[in-house]
Chain A
Amino acid sequence: MSEAVKFHFDVDGSDFSSAGAASVMVKKKLRQLGYPPEVIRKVSIAMYEGEINMVIHANGGAADVEVYDDEIVIILSDTGPGIPDVELAMQEGFSTARDNIRNLGFGAGMGLPNMKKYTDSMEIDTRIGEGTTITMRVSL
């Protein structure tokens, strides 16, 4: 097995206008590496939603993307407030985003459901007051 290609990004929680920058970068890299459009689309959507969530709810965090022979793994970790009720947060339409976020076109309660929908597996490890780590895998 060849060595994994890894990317690391710091997601700036204070700058809403740069949210998505890491996802755009990953998309470009995956394109250069020649991955199929549907794989790139899945990874881009899942990662973008995660990035936006970290900016909205957790004051930023870190995004790591690891590309293996058989899968792409996206790990998003933050030191935010944690998710009190994961089951509720996973429901489409449920959101705790503030009005100013909604006015920007977010906070529709689609983020986590989209992340699950566009990946082959998603694990949420969240601790109240400590942070959340989400690991998503897209099979190749």
Chain B
Amino acid sequence: MTVKEAAAALQLSLLCGDDSREITGVYVGDLLSRCMSRVEEGDLWITIMANINAVAVAALTDPALIVFCEDVEIGDDVLAKASENGIAIARSAQDAYALCVAYASIGGAAS
């Protein structure tokens, strides 16, 4: 499923990035050192850590999409850095568990 399809099905607000990429897995986590070693290329990465360091982690791990969940505030600096690095970012009001359940129910799978 592509970023665009997932965003539509999960009612995500896509804020920046390429929505044509294929999502190939899922990772949920906020501790960036852990995420650094666990987020895989093509993942849907669900986190509340909406800061510029999360964007750096994404620049290195190359997820298809970061979803900042629970309607956390996302600074302009975060979006600017993400755009600069070609990273797709979306926002959701739901929490990580609800997003995972919803994603699984539309046929999404973890890698």
Contacts and interface: CB of A to CB of B under 8 A. Distances in A.
A123 to B, nearest CB: 21
Contact of B53 (A17, A41, A108, A110): A17
Contacts of A44: 60-61
Interface in A3-21: 16-17, 19-21
Interface residues of A, number: 24
Q: Which secondary structure dominates chain B's binding surface?
A: helix
A48 B31 CA distance: 14
Among B49, B51, B53, B85, the one with the most A-chain Cβ atoms within 10 Å of its Cβ is B53
A79 interface: no
Given A19-B53, A104-B51, A27 B30 contact: no
Interface residues of B, number: 21
Nearest to B77: A17
Contacts of B57: 20, 48
Interface of A: 16-17, 19-21, 23-24, 27, 37, 41, 44-45, 48-49, 52, 104-106, 108, 110-111, 114, 117-118
